[in-house]
Amino acid sequence: MNRLLRVSLLLFALMTTAAQAKTPVARGTGGAAATVSEQATRSAIAILDQGGNAVDAAVAAAATLGVTDPFSCGIGGGGFMVVYLAKDRRVITIDHRETAPAATLPTLFIEDGKEMDFDTAVASGLSVGVPGTVRGWHEALQRYGTMSLAQVLAPAITVAEDGFTVDANFSSLVSQNERKFNRFPATAALYLRDGRAIAPGTLLRNPDLARTYRLLADGGVDAFYAGPLARAIVDTVNRPPSAPGISVRGSRMTLADLANYEARLRLPVHSTYRGYDLYGMALPSSGGVTVFEALNILEGYDLKTLPREQVEHLYLEASRLAFADRDAYLADPEYVDAPVAGLLSKDYAARRRASINVDQATPGSVAAGDPYPFQQDPSRPLRPASRALQPERAHTTHLTVSDRDGNVVAYTFTIEDWGGSGMVVPGYGFLLNNELTDFDFTAPHPNIPEAGKRPRSSMTPTIALKDGKPAFSIGSPGGSTIITTVLQTIVNYVDLGLPMDQAIDAPRLSQRNGAATDVEPGFVGSAQAKALAGMGQRWSDQAAEIGAANALVFNADGTVTAVSEGHRHGVGSALVQTPSR
């Protein structure tokens, strides 16, 4: 172990022993970080304090989240990173979304002529895409970081070795997945005790993951995509090590699939909204395009002059229209020529806006629009038929970091379902994703499974600039509700004028082109709900928390405010290097 790594471990160990209260809002100078995990946020600040930049700190926080928030993210999955480079005054993005193995066919999830049961597909080798996270970290650090992978993994290694105290939220997530985790002995051994969820207050260590991180620290990216670790991933996916009497479908992933995996550096998707320049992730993430289309629709209304219930009504209707287009057109751009320019056209937004009744909700789903004339495309592709939204589990994580030089990272990454496929790679301590269930199961559709293809995502890491300088960043987990969480938070902050912490904590409404809108517990029956119901809005029967957002706000006085969840997901963690007094 080199001297710098030893120093990093010592500094982090000392820092984590300090009795500091977890807080979801912090304001001050220097760098800042917000995540759902106190340990992860402290990892980011520790790296910033050692002279690392925002990219270094983001990878450190992400690695720690792989320990403390393992059911949402980790090196067995993939994600999207949006980075503002202050020196160059530009935004870059890194796509390290998982890919389908080369043997994948469009009929991947078709069995006996019918779509496979969704939960059966999730807890199987068939659902596992080639992981992209480690390759993404490597690209980010090599191109834009200042530290080595070994240095930024040091805080996470300490947490994995020394352990952390399981809270009620962590235990609850395990409890919800007892059936899935009991199918796989390596997973059960790590997260269950006698077949039941690990109890709150338990000190949870993950020495296997610590060893895996050390393997990456010593061998770099090649230690993941070749050699014994790569073989263990392939063996787990193809021959899932399941409990006695449990049959689990395997896949046909190969070592070549891992060795050939590449991250993509893509141009960000860009739009404007009420004086802000918004930058997000391009396809195969549908988040940026969908949020920006909905904002373009809303820009035609003077929302600041309207009562809150009408603003929220218009937000729901704009989201409905944007989701219709999302589902019809968006997929991996290396396989589908999606009409992104048309979807982001202000004139197309005006066409879509004209279909909204400002006083009355649409009673059900709407058809996709026709964006092709708005991008001067001479072709006239076949128009897709309306169809039900493909299931997309609501479990991911988002973090955001800035540094004293003005660099900003908004990073969303995932293993998809709570606990992904449910399979821990034996001896290595991390869960594998079930990302391929983000494909549409039945053709024809732009988002059907194909060899090497990246399934469409809803992840929406977003950075907003004003007058050429960072104004805020925002992102969230939540499957397809990520899009509505980011959209509603921007509306709350920009149009309703709420401070960012209130914009995040406000009750969330998620309309994704369905007959009813998803809401959170306690919303139905409120005055807000009754006012919207009076305009014809309808609520889903089951209420659940929506998202777990994290944001940064860059204030006019040169300070930065880091904001995490004030009540969702067990409360988030926000820190700055030098707090304001």
**Interacting residues of 18 by C-beta distance below 8 A, sequence separation 6+:** none
Amino acid at 117: D
Q: CA 360 from chain center: how many Å?
A: 32
What is the Cα gyration radius of the chain? 22
Q: Per the residue annotation, which of 158, 362, 396, 414 is the catalytic one?
A: 396
Tokens 């930058």 identify what position? Answer: 279
Which residue in the block uniquely carries the two structure tokens 């080595």?
Answer: 148
Buried b (16+ CB within 10 A) or exposed e, 513-543: bbeebbbbeebeeeebbebbeebebebeeee
The first and second tokens of residue 245, run together, are 């009497």
Long-range pairs for 168-174: beta carbons < 8 A, 24 or more residues apart: 168/200, 168/570, 169/569, 169/570, 170/68, 170/198, 170/200, 170/204, 170/570, 171/197, 171/198, 171/199, 171/200, 171/202, 172/197, 173/71, 173/418, 173/419, 174/71, 174/198
462 tagged catalytic: no
CB 238 within 8 A of CB 125: yes
DSSP of 399-452, one letter per residue?
EEEE-TTS-EEEEEEE-SSTTTTS-B-TTT--BPP-GGGGS-SSSSSTT---TT
Residue pair 280/124 in contact (Cβ under 8 Å)? The answer is no
Are 267 and 282 a contacting pair, CB within 8 Å? yes
Q: How far is CA 157 from the centre of its chain?
A: 23
d(CA 278, CA 290): 13
Report, as residue numbers or ranges, the catalytic residues. 396
